[in-house]
Structure 1
Amino acid sequence: MAKILIILDERTLYLYQNNQVVRSFPVAIGKASTPTPTGNFSIINKLKNPYNKALGTRWMQFTHRMHGIHGNNQPSSIGKAISNGCVRMYNKDAEFLYDRVSIGTPVEIRQNRRTDSKNKSGYSYYTVKTGDTLYQIAKKFNTTVEKIIAINPNIKNKNTIYPGQQIKIPD
């Protein structure tokens, strides 16, 4: 079974087959004002030659808010944090990936390698982005502000987070 892992800090998408990396691809990710969401998703829609030329030759949707993995018409954007939250690929790479994934393929998006595996203490890490609030982060990870504050002794109240800060998120 295929699986997609995206490490945002590396700007890399990994395609797994039977728990082995088949290929890795450079990608563009969301800019600070419209970040690529982190978490566990799955492919919910696929389109060949989508109507919007900015999406390149393939579209693989992974959220109901229209985040997707897709080709693009600006190859110079690959490797940058420049999109509206989608994951951009070179068209040839998007075509390769499209042919190897199906509706339901798991998509895991992590900020960095540290969050790639769960900590035995019952939490994972999240890097705060510009504009994040604890409420938004709690909602994104299906938890509460109180629970986040409880496992992060450096957070004294909901107003003491800042971009680039690593915070623990309860599992």
Structure 2
Amino acid sequence: MRIERSRQPVQIAKRWRAVLAATIIMSAALIPATASAQDFFSFLWDGGSRSVIGFSPKYEPRQIIVSFGDKKLYWIHTRGEAISYPIAVPREQSRWQGVTSVSNKQVNPSWTPTPTMLAENPRLPRWVPGGHPMNPMGVRALYLGASAYRIHGTDAPWTIGTAVSKGCIRMYNEDVLDLYPRVPVGTKVTVTWQRFS
């Protein structure tokens, strides 16, 4: 007895690939010519989900609390109230905590991997210019003290809410654009594993 395989699954798969390709092309056509890859991914993932929440009134306004436990960054804008932003936090071997301050701010920062990053992945580029759609720093960066750590945007919005960074605090580009003008150089930043939500 001879068993013949149906060609139907193969034909269905080909049709779905064609539909997917057409959808991507049509979606890309809706984005302005000056848009970046980040804009396209934001269109797909609808990044940015900040919210205003009640917060302990013991914290002074105009400071940042980063809770690795909550996977949130809180901008205390008035006593008893904060803007909550979802973040990506450091992986287990890169965890840290402490009190620091914003030492510098940069629009479209360039990115240079650290020696540790290059040792882990020698295929990384040695430098990525600011504004490049594949720049891991995204569109804005707040530098933390004299450390190599930053609060910054990302070219990988799907990582927000996970523990993947090498020590930095990643935000959706839409959210870091909202936070950036609120935070002056010198702002106190407390990084903790304490939970607030």
Which interval holds the TM-score relative to the shorter structure? 0.5 to 0.7
Do residues 98 (structure 1) and 180 (structure 2) align? yes
Stretches (4+) displaced over 3 A: none
- Cα distance in structure 2, aligned partners of 1:20 and 1:43: 22
Q: Normalising to structure 2: TM-score of the pair? A: 0.55
Q: Which amino acid aligns with 2:139?
A: T
1:39 deviates by 1.3
Deviation at 1:18, TM superposition (A): 3.3
Aligned length: 113
Name the structure 2 match of 1:47. Answer: 106
Report matched runs for 1:1-171 at 5 Å.
Answer: 1-35=61-95, 37-52=96-111, 53-113=135-195
Contact 1:43 1:104 in 2 (8 A): yes
SS of the residue corresponding to residue 55 of structure 1 reads coil
1:80, distance to aligned residue in structure 2 (A): 0.6
Please state which structure has a larger fraction of its residues in helix: 2
Question: How many Å separate the matches in 1 of 2:93 and 2:145?
Answer: 18
Would the aligned equivalents of 2:77 and 2:83 in 1 still touch at CA under 8 Å? no
What is the TM-score when the length of structure 1 is the normalising length?
Answer: 0.63
Give the drift of 1:5.
Answer: 0.5
The answer for unaligned runs of 5 or more in structure 1 is 115-171
1:14/1:21 contact within 8 Å kept: no
Instruction: Confirm or deny: 8 A CA contact 1:62 1:69 kept in the other structure.
Output: yes
Higher strand share: 1
Tell me the secondary structure at the aligned position of residue 105 of structure 2. strand
Which is greater in Rg? 2
